Structure 1
Amino acid sequence: MPIEISLDVMLAKRKMKSIELAQAVGITVANLSILKTGKAKAIRFSTLEAICKELDCQPGDILSYTKDFIIK
């Protein structure tokens, strides 16, 4: 997928565990895992806002677009 998720990098920078973020944002650990692995088809703006608020970051800190993505 040309959208890359670097949520795990931001979690490491903030020294936060996935379970802590999931509880703070109000989503399940399973849904957070789906998002972290890039398997999510969509994300609600309210969820993205809550993640950014909790991690004190911008959406661009955890989401990026790769133009030259090649499907294998």
Structure 2
Amino acid sequence: MANLSVLKNEKAKAIRLSTLNAICKALDCQPGDILECKSDEGTRE
């Protein structure tokens, strides 16, 4: 539950693959279905 809260509130800096795998299994989805790539504000690309 703590992991989900951190992810929901966009406070996560990283996610363990085991956590991502568990979420995908529970939702019957693929990582690309639930993840989005965003650039950090103030960083150069």
Give unmatched runs, 5+ long, in structure 1: 1-28
Cα distance, 1:36 vs structure 2: 1.3
Structure 2 residue 15 is the aligned partner of structure 1 residue 43 = yes
Q: CA RMSD in A?
A: 1.9
Q: Secondary structure at the match of 2:36?
A: strand
Using CA pairs below 8 Å that are at least 6 residues apart, which structure has the higher relative contact order?
1
- Alignment: residue pair count: 42
1:71 aligns with 2:41: yes
The separation in 2 between residues aligned to 1:62 and 1:54, in whole angstroms, is: 12
- Which residue of structure 2 lines up, in the alignment, with residue 7 of structure 1? none
Runs (4+) off by over 3 Å = none
Q: Tell me, which stretches of 5 or more residues in structure 2 are unaligned?
A: none
Using structure 2 for the length normalisation, give the TM-score: 0.71
Counterpart Cα distance in 1 of 2:2 and 2:21: 19
Normalized per residue, which structure has more strand?
A: 1
Distance 1:53 1:39, change over 3 A: same
